[in-house]
Structure 1
């Protein structure tokens, strides 16, 4: 009787244990079935070491797969942002965005690089790319010239911080072009006011060209327009000074010939007043500053 009771008890225990095991297994299967599908290829890509991702990015770039190359470089930044490969990947991202005409993205990536690695070996190149991206966004002079100002600022940073780099000469040229664009905008607005006989407003624009953008090709016309505006307002001393400065710096200019003729029509001639702001600005003009 005792043996039979023991056997029955063991059988009952085994039944309970099996039931529990099946319940646990079932719960595990249910949990797995409720989880979203996992893309194991993405898991593999994200766990590749930074150097391998960088090599893959370059390989895709060489194969013409620009989108895939950008994805690889971006993955490095997310996975291992403080590695040397992440630094180089950010250079490549800036370049690829610029090359693809995604100038805003190039500017963002480039500016981020310059904040992180201003002393690195690629800093001059990245700063130059930022300047080029702004340069490509400059519209004609009839529109807002914010990007011309940003181009001048970015390219001047190349000149000031990396003067011996291979990008410095072109950066200087781009600074001059941007200044000329800004001066052209001032001239356009000045002519607008002058045509409406709002001479004080026009003089303000022309003065900005003479004082701030002496090295541009807009200076001759700005001085001649100052002669016209001051003459029209009856401020003959300033008109004569503007003509004198114009003649001293651009004696063969048609602008000077026209200004001289205008003064002569009123019985005047060019004569510099050393106390005039135009005379003070002329000293910078002679020195080739601005």
Structure 2
């Protein structure tokens, strides 16, 4: 077993042992809102987000109109995100937006929506094994892009806006790579026109993406297969101006 595989196996074993050995502690029915919130925050600070969620849910259920109601909802969103429960995180996010559209924390909630959808697009073990899976369905990445875009448009001066812009750049590169995978599939299936069209979409949509060079390669090859010499030469001239060391120009 190589080092990476052994590391993954140990991580899985640790998760299994932790799941088997930890039993949910009973939450006192007599605890006040102050006590429950203090316990939840302590759990969060210790990184025990599963325990924090149980306490926060109890607090939200018992004291829905208490002094901590808004912060409890925000903490539940973050705790669900940290446990990787994206479905519950999104459900709580949408609930917060619906009930508190003018909250001073609404920009944070939109930011968390983007982060959660980015998390849904990640596959932990693919990352651990250094496997490129940008060929998978990008629906969550697309939604994350929309979430960050909405945050920036509605709250351009938010303290989360700069981070959101950086994440949007990363998402654009991921979406560009996905389109390259699609174009390569079309090329493999001898669907030359479809391949060229998808590659052109990358050029038109993802300005500044590292995938643009590959898109030009696919277009040049596809036009060659189609016998479109004029279009092929035009693409090669663009490549020469922007990527003079590309192997197609040798």
1:96 aligns with 2:79: yes
Output one character per residue of 1:31-82: Cα deviation in whole Å (capped at 9) or x when no partner. xxxxxxxxxx53x35xx4x455434432444466544432332234334435
Q: Find the counterpart in structure 1 of residue 25 from structure 2.
A: none
The answer to whether the 8 A contact 1:98-1:106 is kept is: yes
Output one character per residue of 1:160-192: Cα deviation in whole Å (capped at 9) or x when no partner. 223222322221121111111111111112112
Bigger RCO (CA 8 Å, 6+ sep): 2
Residue 143 of structure 1 deviates from its aligned partner by 1.8
1:153 aligns with 2:136: no
Q: Find the counterpart in structure 2 of residue 227 from structure 1.
A: 220
What TM-score, normalized to structure 2?
0.74
The answer to whether the 8 A contact 2:50-2:83 is kept is: no
The answer to whether the 8 A contact 2:141-2:175 is kept is: yes
What TM-score, normalized to structure 1?
0.64
Q: Find the counterpart in structure 2 of residue 218 from structure 1.
A: 211
Match for residue 198 of structure 2 among 191, 197, 205:
205
Output one character per residue of 1:254-281: Cα deviation in whole Å (capped at 9) or x when no partner. 33x62x45xxxxxxxxxxxxxxxxxxxx
SS at match of 2:220: helix
Query: Which stretches in structure 1 are left out of the alignment for 5+ residues?
Result: 1-40, 262-290
Q: Find the counterpart in structure 1 of residue 107 from structure 2.
A: 124
Query: Which stretches in structure 2 are left out of the alignment for 5+ residues?
Result: 1-27, 123-132
Number of equivalences: 214
Q: Distance in 2 between matches of 1:229 and 1:52?
A: 67
The answer to whether the 8 A contact 1:151-1:174 is kept is: no
Based on CA coordinates, which of the two structures has the bigger radius of gyration?
A: 1
1:180 aligns with 2:163: no
Q: Find the counterpart in structure 2 of residue 190 from structure 1.
A: 183
SS at match of 2:68: helix
